[in-house]
Structure 1
């Protein structure tokens, strides 16, 4: 036992020991061993630590998007959608476009705590990035839009955002010869309808696929056949980022909600930021379902490109990742459970105190950088062929 302790202390002093989940049978592992474990195929990675009842959805590469049968892809439709997305004529004032809140130079968000719209009125929620939106379900923070086609039309009608109506928009665009020709070419009819507008914008948005991150290059390196290229690609992830990946999947519990290729379970959770009966109250998913169990629940955001999209959370209250890490490390924000109030929000049972130290928190943040690539510049190259 004394020899084991001495060996542990010496190894720690060299800075090469990292925590490893208990199921390996060894509570500590060197950086070299950790790299060796994660250089294997994903199905051979260390077993993740998941809460009871949570399905294991492995992390992975972003797949090709699937276009709905009733709104198939075409290059012409994509380009029409891109034009509409950037056209302020879709707003009553003629000054606000979809791109006003989803700027490609700002990671397809707007860099603001909350967005502003018609007459500079401010909303109450942060504008989410729309990279990889093709893979999202139940759009918006509260999931009120069932499809991307439906979502595309909602900001147009919101009085705080673009403050227009769909009938008025149809009249405006039908008076523009350029749009008449474009819709005739794409849809076979000159008459422009709101449904077709939504389909064109949604088609463009589905082509906004994130670029390859260091994490993606690492994953591709696992199956690379050329030894030289394999070594180069596996080096894309630093030792600290690999430590963060391991924590993400095990001790930190991030994989419970941030899983799959997009790092989101596409579900709704309450981490304690509903501000119930206080100034910044937002009832979240409840506004859609009217189910008291949904008070304070918000859609799990995708973490791909996360470092491009601050400030974070539905209210944009967090400009630094350290604040977010501290919330999760503490097990979420506790909320008073009032048994006499059926609307009293409850913090998700998936959140538990993590007891992560400063080094582990920095490793997790480094992993956030590793899954963040430069923002997409527009339609992914596969759609431009």
Structure 2
């Protein structure tokens, strides 16, 4: 075959292949089961398609009275050692149920080591905190209260304090039946309230449910990249836009200032060093700054890092495991990064406003106020 004919044949083959991969927004203006096949890494494991949130998983101990009590407790600073810090101090409904800070301030204005994870949709996660040290909301609920950097309280003293407040004594009885507040009741009350902190349907949810005009062509192109070339679906999948797993992305700062060994702190396993739980991308526009250390206020900056393949294995500290195999250079153009960022901004809807409830007043000892006699 003459060289020019072979060259023409190769050009036509390349054009055909390009045409076969051509993107059309209409490919996504149909039920998700008919979308183009996702491009997934072989080590990603089972991957769920993007979807609206399901019904809240039921638990047999959640009642309206327990939830109402939990809401009061969540906003009550009397759960802290200083009497000044509430759960809501770091999980503010006006700040995406996080706190808008790089890291939280706790007892005596001590700075924590990690960014406050939003509690939105926490009910669906099997492991909580960045290192997954708690399995479920009940187990999680009391840990910040007794943490010396966070609320710095003695749990027995907190329970004694609550049982001395008539309004709480009555509320615990209404919620759980006769008996004082104890650790189990306190944890379940807080968990009952926290599990109802759920994202509102966003534009992608509406698009998936058939409202195909709510996303423009650029945003749909970003959705396509998310599921294909950008590889986001490997980790940020399902209705939570998170696989709930732990991955090493190279941001542990191991051997340097701000070192955080992540999941290893919960398991004691060297192979977990530097791994952190995949955060949910729901409502991410309201939960900045991002990553476990809160170092990243720019969404585009994060996309640029992933596009470059993070720091790469060659620059890792020798005591660290290899990066997750899901991390690799993506070679996205600026046009593609623009589309991906536009799509990510469709995943958010401002959480419902919630006012702090009225708290039970402390019992007043009339002898303490009788200063005139």
TM-score relative to the length of structure 2: 0.88
Could you tell me whether the CA contact under 8 Å between 1:337 and 1:346 is conserved in 2? no
In structure 2, the partner of 1:62 is 53
Partner of 1:19: none
Asked whether 1:49 is paired with 2:39, we answer yes
The reply to whether residue 358 of structure 1 matches residue 330 of structure 2 is: no
Cα deviation for residue 377 of structure 1 reads 2.8
How many residues in Structure 1 have an aligned counterpart in Structure 2? 345
Q: 1:28 aligns to what SS in structure 2? A: coil
Identify unmatched segments of 5+ residues in structure 1.
Answer: 10-21, 222-232, 380-385
3-state SS of paired residue (1:234): coil
For the pair shown, the structure with the greater C-alpha radius of gyration is 2
Asked if residue 94 in structure 1 is aligned to residue 70 in structure 2, the reply is no
Please name the residue that 1:83 is paired with: 72
Structure 2: 5+ residue stretches without partners? 1-6, 356-373
Give the corresponding residue for 1:372.
348
Identify the match of residue 254 of structure 1 among 232, 249, 254. 232
Corresponding residue for residue 180 of structure 1 = 169
Partners of 2:340 and 2:217 lie apart in 1 by: 12
**In the alignment, what sits opposite 2:20?**
26
1:244-277 CA-to-partner distances (Å, cap 9, x unmatched) read 1110000000000000100000100011101111
Could you tell me how far apart the structure 1 residues matched to 2:235 and 2:302 are? 15
Deviation at 1:378, TM superposition (A): 4.7
CA contact (8 A) 1:337 1:344 kept: no
Task: Give the corresponding residue for 2:145.
Answer: 156
2:369 alignment counterpart? none
Decide whether the 8 Å contact of 2:123 with 2:136 is kept in 1: no
What stretches of structure 1 move > 3 A for 4+ residues in a row?
335-339
In structure 1, the residue matched to 2:363 is none
Aligned CA-pair RMSD: 2.2
2:80 & 2:240 partners in 1: Cα distance? 31
Cα displacement (A) at 1:344: 2.2
2:192 corresponds, among 194, 203, 227, to 203
1:239 corresponds to which of 207, 217, 228? 217
Cα 1:199–1:216 change in 2 (3 A) is same
> Which of 124, 132, 135 is the equivalent residue of 1:143?
132
Tell me by how many angstroms 1:332 deviates: 2.1
Q: Which residue number corresponds to residue 120 of structure 1?
A: 109
Structure 1 range deviating more: 310-319 or 162-171: 162-171
In 1, distance between residues paired with 2:101 and 2:84? Answer: 18
TM-score for both structures, normalised by structure 1: 0.85
Of 45-54 and 311-320, the range deviating more from structure 2: 45-54
Distance in 2 (alpha carbons) for counterparts of 1:139 and 1:182: 28
1:111/1:39 CA distance change after superposition, 3 Å: same
**Equivalent residue in structure 2 for 1:290, among 263, 268, 271:** 268
Say which SS state the counterpart of residue 369 (structure 1) adopts: helix
Q: Secondary structure at the match of 2:69?
A: helix
